[in-house]
Structure 1
């Protein structure tokens, strides 16, 4: 509610908003602003329900861990502290993440800028009326020079601070940069140093040990995994509550990130899955039966208390993992369109509020995304300003025909990624494709479009690992190394012959093409692809610039085979004529005008 006190009237529109949302109000803040002085009387304010009364409890520092006095640029600075505070009887009301973020790291950068980084609890033990809490703070500096720091300790009621100290950030040997939307071309991703980034990888939504999966991806030249937090994979609730969070599971996610950093894997971290609001609602910590605020899952989106608890959940995750160079994106919810809601707009509005909160809370400005099972559902999600990455999923049907729908959802305004795909919703649907024909076709056709990264297959354990298909990422990883799609707009060209289809993306100075057999993908148990047979399989790509072109023929099934290289001269007709000759299996082509220059000036974000 907003008032203009000089006129004694409500500001237009705020009364209607109050009537719409007053049932969700959990907290009232009075804020006067303006010039001059005035006396204000507040009368007839009634509290219909009284929450727990807080008393001042100043914690005591038991131990302050040793902090480094020198760290590298974009390398980890961390400090640990143990606090003792008296235990109190359990109070009624919301205790989610109570004391979980009672420590902040206050910093002053070399240029004088000040910032606070939230700490997080890593454990608690109780003994004879006292509880000892362990906290960690993690920060990655992005300015060389001397940083001043101190810990602010307390819950805002009783607070203390450590003695100020300092460390030096050394610019030598900088750590990896955060990946974000490219400043010059919003369809694509780049890192802090301005390098083009094209993620390649797969879902590894849950695993007892991530090391074998990440090692296999790294060996294949892939760099991306999508990981869930869910009831059977390191949930942060303990016995369906967050008082306190499950520190053992949070430590398991720490180890997952450590493995990701070791193997150079970037992680899309999924914060909640759709089943928590559908078939698994009984176990959801936001369910009133478990001490949550919602009697029905449909209340989750607009209930003020539910939103506040989710913000605290996000705060804990950001404090604990935002520092990691292996964090690619925060995914707020898996397949939001499968969740119940009184109105679809409620889901969009929730995403708007949560994405805005992550944007404010994350000191490193990581990508923010969400996902839908069907790209045409909840189209309003992709208009939310703080949702950076458009991410639909696709199962079944003719995948090749739908790959271009993914970037089309973004309309060229944002990057887009196919976050899950497969032949069907059941593991057996993909197991029949023991040669990974759908995976190969999806990877290579997708490169010809405008999706910002390779599509991420779903069946990582029952299909890709079991049938030894992770190595199929390797040829594409080699092919795209050194390529830069930013700033160019390609024309799509296609041709067909006996037993093959050619799809290509053509720009004036660069062209990519892929020969494949769609019939063999549709029938994975059919005979292997015959391939190209003779000179009659020649094709033409246009329009391109005249001059000398370097042509590379790639065997997409074997990353150890060195591509064949040739030169072709393009004349005044601006047509690149290609005669593949006799080749077996799928074939890819990379063509570049010999004097082609980069399409963009690479600058740090």
Structure 2
């Protein structure tokens, strides 16, 4: 797909005025040159939105003949800009002025980030730098050094520039695209907003009218292009081009799409704008070239299946949907201290994109099709305290982590892996368990607006901030089919939300549904096991599927807990939603190695025959990776190839000797079964080879011929096949000799055609 630039520059005049703010002015000082190195002279105070730097410099007669001076501005994250204009300093008195406004075109060293109102708003340091190629320790007098600030007001002109449309054909005067492929628009507003993530400062959207007449509105988001540079023990995001606003769209139907661009500076952030913005005339609306889309109808988003909402499917908008049963593990972050402490693994280096790249490739090669990833403060968080590297405080999002998530989702989709994306991990809202409230940017103790963590779930300002983040996430990644769903919280019952969690989830889930035109699922999650799930939250119509834990002590076996999660009297089956376990593996503190192996291998099989919507996701990701323990996903994947658990089907318990745990997923003419050695499933200590055991399939099975395929549950390969000519009534099958666990398929064969009688 090609990208072209249209000559779109629309200018609207508006009233402009500057308010000069008092700034801390440095007292006269003597500065000793450290030439040939640069000598910096910082200003005492840098006000918000600096617009100009003024200085008086007195150069002595013994100063180097090539002495020069420039201005610099920097933020707290190491981004350093210098003035494009510099001055030669001859002996004598010099009155200097440097422009630091939006259009100053400061140059970043050594990267290529553009100087914008956003960069200006992030500036925390500014001053002069002096240089000479000659060695010198001359004394330079700086009598006055002041940075003047500008109150954040609208600029003199309102316009959009550098409009770029994917696939724009100049000769045809239209854009071209294909179904299922991302189409993208980018544009730069002028004035560029000082706070680019706040739609009340600037909001951009494209109104799309599809070939079937359906109309929807796609919000834009701010993006700073970055190269992610691997430094060996960590990564750095290096700006690679100027920032812009982007709109992303993935057409599902072929045909002609009409596009209309709408922009508003100030006001409510909506179009048509609030009255205050309308009075200033700061709006634009522009009909764009049509988008002509080719290809077959496409829909590869994962959703709860409309016909059988116990399970997931893809393509439900263009047909009956393709059954999807995700298999994978919890890759919450690339490294995990608890995994190291509980299982003896080594911490993976903090190279987020490189680490996830390696994990996802090995997961996919091992047969995995899904993973859970957290937007946590130590991983891919978007909003955190501003004195941590890569973050800028409440309302400002991490450009580096957003860029990583862009690439991570692209990679995952190319590998056939879907991501259960966790928006908030419980520690962010906790003052007790895994508490991170002390570092949450909304905490008043570190400069945020909330005096208590509980207010995160009720305070109007906090809820508005969450809405801005929600809009940003949907605008940037809502078109991506790699997203399995939006998980609003991990272990929400460990936060300070308490009795406010119901209303918080009710409102939040409703907004996700309204914003996400692709229809990704929305979910939330509870610590403990299925019994911890608050029923009135589970049944909220805005929550499409349910995530739970399956941690347990020695009093229960994992397979039984997985079964009970949906099939017990108090199980979650009654809600008619997909249920998926996203954390398990012994207790929350782990378990003996042999038990962890048994649970890792038996858990997916138990989930399949119990009617779970996917395999449980083991918490101990580094343990799986460092031990090359990926095989359970491929084994079950082979067994399920061509199978569909939806429809007229149910979980059944089969009668078997006490040392066995036997369950099956039954549908007319087909039974998918699983036989587990209870001793091994409970503790990892196998009873050895089990021989001569029988399983009763049922008491009243209709007569007919059936095939029984016995599968090695470790490899997902058929090891034995039997044919049974059943006369009707009770049906009992002999289990082949096995160790640990075994799977089987009981398949009824069609009745032979009747023989004609003459």
TM-score w.r.t. structure 2 length?
A: 0.65
**In the alignment, is the contact (CA less than 8 A) between 2:197 and 2:222 conserved in 1?**
no
Q: How far off its partner does 1:458 sit?
A: 0.8
In the alignment, is residue 376 of structure 1 matched against residue 376 of structure 2?
no
Q: How does 1:109-508 map to 2 (within 5 A)?
A: 109-123=210-224, 133-155=243-265, 156=273, 157=277, 158-172=282-296, 177-192=300-315, 193=319, 194-207=321-334, 208=352, 209-237=355-383, 239=386, 241-278=393-430, 279-341=435-497, 344-374=498-528, 375-377=530-532, 378-397=534-553, 398=556, 399-407=558-566, 408-426=571-589, 429-430=590-591, 432-433=593-594, 436-461=597-622, 463-490=623-650, 492-497=652-657, 499-508=659-668
Cα pair distance change 1:121/1:543, threshold 3 Å: farther
In structure 2, relative to structure 1, the CA distance for the partners of 1:83 and 1:529 (3 Å cut) is: farther
**Relative to 1, partners in 2 of residues 1:482 and 1:87: Cα closer, same or farther, differing over 3 Å?**
closer
In structure 2, relative to structure 1, the CA distance for the partners of 1:557 and 1:132 (3 Å cut) is closer
Superposed displacement of residue 357, structure 1:
0.4
In the TM superposition, what whole-angstrom CA distance separates every residue of 1:465-503 from its partner, at most 9, and x where no partner exists?
Answer: 122211211111111122112222335223444754333
474-483 or 329-338, which deviates more: 474-483
Q: Alignment partner of 1:105: what SS?
A: strand
Distance 1:116 1:149 in 2: 10
Question: C-alpha displacement at 1:100, in angstroms?
Answer: 8.3
Matched position secondary structure for 2:580: coil
CA distance in 2, matches of 1:538, 1:361: 51
CA–CA distance in structure 1, aligned partners of residues 611 and 417 of structure 2? 22
Aligned to 1:16: none
Say whether the 8 Å CA contact 1:499–1:531 is kept in structure 2.
Answer: no
What is the DSSP-based 3-state SS (H/G/I as helix, E as strand, rest coil) of the residue aligned with 1:392? strand
Aligned-partner SS, 1:488? coil
CA distance in 2, matches of 1:519, 1:456: 22
Q: In 2, are the aligned partners of 1:434 and 1:467 still within 8 Å (CA)?
A: no
Deviates more, 1:211-220 or 1:276-285: 211-220
Contact 1:98/1:244 (CA < 8 Å) preserved in 2? no
Deviations 1:39-95 (A, max 9, x none): xxxxxxxxxxxxx9975775433311242122222221112222331677x9xxxx9
RMSD over equivalenced CA pairs, Å: 2.7
**Matched residue SS, 1:357:** helix
SS of aligned partner of 1:391: strand
Q: Which string of whole-angstrom CA distances, capped at 9 and with x for unpartnered residues, describes residues 84-126 of structure 1?
A: 31677x9xxxx9635787221221111233221011000299x
Contact 1:85–1:132 (Cα < 8 Å) also in 2: no
Match of residue 48 from structure 1: none
Pick aligned residue for 1:78 from 155, 168, 184: 184
Report if aligned partners of 2:649, 2:668 keep a CA contact under 8 Å in 1: no
Shift of 1:291: 4.5
Q: Residue 269 of structure 1: CA displacement? A: 0.5
Q: Does the residue aligned with 2:546 lie in a helix, a strand or coil?
A: coil
**For the structure 1 residues 494 and 453, does the alpha-carbon distance in structure 2 shift closer, same or farther, using more than 3 Å as the test?**
same
- Runs of at least 5 residues in structure 2 that lack an aligned partner in the other structure: 1-150, 168-174, 227-240, 266-272, 335-351, 387-391, 752-758
Structure 1 counterpart of 2:691? 533
Q: TM-score, normalised by structure 1?
A: 0.81
By how many angstroms is 1:185 displaced? Answer: 1.7
Quickly say closer, same or farther: Cα 1:442–1:594, change in 2 above 3 A: same
1:153 is paired with a residue whose SS is strand
Structure 1 residue aligned with 2:161:
62
In the other structure, the counterpart of 1:31 is: none
CA contact (8 A) 1:338 1:373 kept: yes
The 8 Å contact of residues 548 and 594 in structure 1, kept in 2 or not, is answered as yes
Contact 1:101-1:316 within 8 A present in 2 as well: no
Q: Using the TM superposition, give the Cα deviation of residue 154 of structure 1 relative to its aligned residue in structure 2, in angstroms.
A: 3.0
Q: Distance in 2 between matches of 1:219 and 1:178?
A: 22
Structure 1, gaps ≥5 residues long: 1-51, 126-130, 597-605
Superimposed CA distance per residue, residues 302-349 of structure 1 (whole angstroms, 9 cap, x where no aligned partner):
1122111101111101111111111110001111101113xx331110
Q: Give the whole-Å Cα distance in 1 for the aligned partners of 2:506 and 2:372.
A: 22
Give the Cα–Cα distance (whole angstroms) in 2 for the partners of residues 87 and 455 of structure 1. Answer: 45
Judge conservation of contact 1:269–1:330 (CA < 8 Å) in 2.
yes
Q: CA deviation at 1:183?
A: 1.5
Equivalents in 1 of 2:157, 2:513: separation in Å? Answer: 31
Which structure's relative contact order is higher, taking Cα pairs within 8 Å and 6+ residues apart? 1
Q: Is the 8 A contact 2:670 2:748 kept in 1?
A: yes
Aligned length: 524
Deviation readout 1:158-181 (Å, 9 max, x if unpaired): 222445211212124x65511112
Which protein is bigger by CA-based radius of gyration?
A: 2
Aligned in 2, Cα 1:141/1:96: closer, same or farther, shift over 3 Å?
A: closer
**Alpha carbons 2:580, 2:613 under 8 Å: kept:** yes
Structure 2: how far apart are the matches of 1:454 and 1:391?
12
* 1:578 aligned onto 2:733: yes
Task: Return the alpha-carbon distance in structure 1 between the equivalents of residues 325 and 192 of structure 2.
Answer: 51
Q: 1:215 to 1:485 in 2, by over 3 A?
A: same
Cα displacement (A) at 1:507: 4.0
In the alignment, the residues of structure 2 paired with residue 562 and residue 100 of structure 1 have an alpha-carbon distance, to the nearest angstrom, of 62
